[in-house]
A and B are shown apart, each in its own frame.
Chain A
Amino acid sequence: MLRDSRALRVLIVAIGTIAALTSAIALLLLVGGYDVVRALDALWTGSVGSWYAVTSATLVRAIPLMLTGCAVAVAFRAGVFNIGAEGQLLAGGAAAAAIALAFPDTGRVTLLAALLAGILAGGAWAGIAALLRERFGVQEVISTIMLNFIALYGVSLLVRGMLQEPTHAYPQSSTIAEAVRLTRLPGAGRLHTGILIALAIALLMGWLFRNSAAGFRLMAVGESPAAAMSAGMIDVHRTRTMAFVTSGALAGLAGAIEVLGVTYALYEDLSPGYGYTAIAVALLAGLDPWRVMFTSLLFGALEAGAGAMQRDAGVPSTLVAMIEALLILGVVAAQAVRRRRTTHAHVDDAGLEPTT
């Protein structure tokens, strides 16, 4: 009985969210003077209107969003504002491309090594910000954003330098050998095995959050570093650093999977801002990896539909970026209002003061 009512509530929330999103988009289209019916039709067709759209457009985009969404969830849960999933994704993509291009003849082994390289590079890129925070007290909000820009110019440098394709005509790397790529799922268009990796990771992270000591420490530190510290059983700095690096590793894996399963080469515009959309994905999921599986689908569909709206109805695809931002604002505002209603006690030290 209880289970049923919970399932019903989840369903109502899901339908309500989608209805609210669609109305918001329709309203913006109306204000912008676009053909609303035609645009919404394109949104539908481009995202879920056909098997091809579901697999090759929506699900393919949901994969990096699921992984970066989990990345953001892990960090935010620990009170680490990692805005750098974008840069960590790029670092992971670049490392994976470098490995995949360097060893084209060893097939699966190279593929595994490339995925691992992505994880390590993403973790290391986040590690820089973690070090700056724990050692020098530099706010990770600023440092991760700076690292995003540096990663972007780093990739730009790589595709015009060390990793540029041999003719030196285009700012991109050579194409990755077929044996090193992630295979596509049979009968599912461009959808590749990366989806299985992403789902496995989301399931695992959600389980760890609920059932492991590490998950408990993560939340304790996120809720109140001072309380966790004075309880004496939790090394706050260590927990935060672990969460930060894990977050980066997941984003790095997203980049590696994108290169090995979708683009098959390193490009400057490898990511259309997945690392930023991930913030909306994670917040809408209440920072729960299990629910990230669903919100990433929603945003995958939105991103896919946005492209179709631009192509078929001339609606700027940036409209969806606006919607995503509004959604984040809505979620944090609703949380704030609910928090004030339920309790007046607030945690003073969950914030951002420099750590010492």
Chain B
Amino acid sequence: MTSALTPFLAATIRTATPLALAALGEMLVERTGIINIGLEGAVLAGAFGALAGATAGGVAGGYAGAMLGGLVVGALFAWGVLILRADQIITGMALTLFSAGATGTLYRAWYGTSGAALHAPTSGPRSIPILTSIPVVGEALFHQPVITYFTYLLTPVLAWWMYRTHSGLALRAIGERPDAAEAAGIHVARTRAHAVLVGGLLGGLAGGTLVLAQAGTFVENMSAGRGFIALAIVVLGRWRPFGVALGALLFGAASALQYAFQAMGWNAPYQLFLAAPYLLTLAALAGAMGRTRAPAALGRPL
């Protein structure tokens, strides 16, 4: 049993890491009353940025490129929605399409259409001494790439910041009553812009994780809807950091089931496993929506 459980848990954590990063970023955005469907585009731009950065400057360059890619999408969204006040949903959707087109075009222009598999340098797993030797979970939780440990830290830090600091309170206030927050002297537009940029950055990191800690290469449209799944995870996690992290783990586990089933010799069409996260998203949203309350101002026109 132990032998099957450890790889399952490890795969869960591995799949959950990018989802958690993207979802935590989007959680911040939605807490200010904005919904950024362009998150998918940020993840994809991050993945491409990671490839471009990594071929130039190794793993560190890759993560820098990933953040930059996500940041560009976040900045475009902020410009469209916060400055021009264009519709949030359509702007976000257009940015996702733009990101797919732009990364595809740049990829083919820079690296050719030949499909010669490009190998980006990857950051392998690092073991944390002592903790790794905890039975069953130690190896799964503490033999992971550095970005996973960053996510472990990010979750409690965000929770502390949102619920224990003035600026965190300001963020939450904006999502509930932007007018009241403005009257109380909070810079609503500026805070929203910051949240959108950080959201883009974390989305980019999520894409970077796919390339630098998992695939080791870039494939067109490799985000494969993870940004959208992250949107669902935010709802599932009730707009709270630990809830979001748990939601990401749930999705990680659903994806990891395929390895577990394969290990048990249970053969089902692989498309079922590929479709599973999307089915789970629908089921989870249907189950969660009735019992959660979104930030009051979420998605309202500015």
Pair from one complex: yes
Chain A interface (Cβ within 8 Å of chain B)?
32, 81, 83, 128, 132, 135-139, 141-143, 145-147, 149-150, 153-154, 156-157, 160-161, 276, 279, 283, 316, 318-326, 328-329, 332-333, 335-337, 340, 346-348, 350-354
Looking at the complex, which one of A161, A276, A333 makes contact with B97 (CB distance below 8 Å)?
A276
The 4 closest A-B pairs by CB, nearest first: A321-B101, A318-B104, A322-B101, A325-B98
Give bound CA distance, A332 to B278, whole Å: 29
Looking at the complex, which one of A143, A319, A321, A351 makes contact with B299 (CB distance below 8 Å)?
A351
Chain A residues whose C-beta falls within 8 Å of the C-beta of B232 in the assembled complex: 142, 146
| Segment among B88-96, B122-130, B155-163, B258-266 that sits at the interface with chain A | B88-96
Given contacts A332-B91, A337-B84, contact A157 B271 (CB under 8 A): yes
- Contact present for A132 and B301 (CB under 8 Å): no
Q: Which of B97-126 contact A (CB under 8 A)?
A: 97-98, 100-102, 104-105, 107-109, 113
Chain B residues whose C-beta falls within 8 Å of the C-beta of A333 in the assembled complex: 80, 84, 86
Known A324-B101, A353-B299; further 17 A-B contacts with Cβ < 8 A: A81-B89, A128-B282, A138-B286, A145-B225, A146-B232, A146-B279, A149-B278, A156-B271, A157-B272, A160-B271, A316-B109, A319-B105, A328-B97, A332-B91, A333-B80, A333-B86, A353-B298
Give bound CA distance, A167 to B62, whole Å: 45
Q: By the criterion of a CB under 8 Å from any partner CB, how many residues of chain B are at the interface? A: 49
Q: Which of B174-188 contact A (CB under 8 A)?
A: none
Q: List 28 A-B contacts (CB under 8 A).
A: A132-B285, A139-B285, A145-B225, A146-B232, A146-B279, A146-B282, A149-B225, A150-B275, A150-B278, A154-B271, A157-B272, A318-B104, A318-B220, A319-B101, A325-B95, A325-B98, A325-B100, A328-B90, A332-B91, A333-B80, A336-B85, A336-B87, A346-B301, A347-B301, A352-B35, A352-B298, A353-B300, A354-B289
At the interface, yes or no: B290 with Cβ under 8 Å from chain A?
A: yes
Give bound CA distance, A276 to B285, whole Å: 23
Chain A residues whose C-beta falls within 8 Å of the C-beta of B231 in the assembled complex: 142
Give bound CA distance, A352 to B36, whole Å: 13
Chain A residue with minimal CB distance to B296? Answer: A353
- Contact present for A348 and B228 (CB under 8 Å): no
Given contacts A161-B269, A283-B90, A337-B84, contact A350 B301 (CB under 8 A): yes
Return B81 CB to nearest CB of chain A, in Å.
9
Give bound CA distance, A25 to B100, whole Å: 17
Give bound CA distance, A266 to B102, whole Å: 29
Give bound CA distance, A141 to B91, whole Å: 13
Chain B residues whose C-beta falls within 8 Å of the C-beta of A351 in the assembled complex: 299-301
- Contact present for A348 and B101 (CB under 8 Å): no
At the interface, yes or no: B274 with Cβ under 8 Å from chain A?
A: yes
Chain A residues whose C-beta falls within 8 Å of the C-beta of B107 in the assembled complex: 316
Give bound CA distance, A157 to B298, whole Å: 37
Chain A residue with minimal CB distance to B41? Answer: A325
Give bound CA distance, A320 to B105, whole Å: 9
Chain B residues whose C-beta falls within 8 Å of the C-beta of A160 in the assembled complex: 269, 271
Return A69 CB to nearest CB of chain B, in Å.
15
Chain B residues whose C-beta falls within 8 Å of the C-beta of A154 in the assembled complex: 271, 275
Looking at the complex, which one of B35, B85, B98 makes contact with A322 (CB distance below 8 Å)?
B98
At the interface, yes or no: B64 with Cβ under 8 Å from chain A?
A: no
At the interface, yes or no: B151 with Cβ under 8 Å from chain A?
A: no
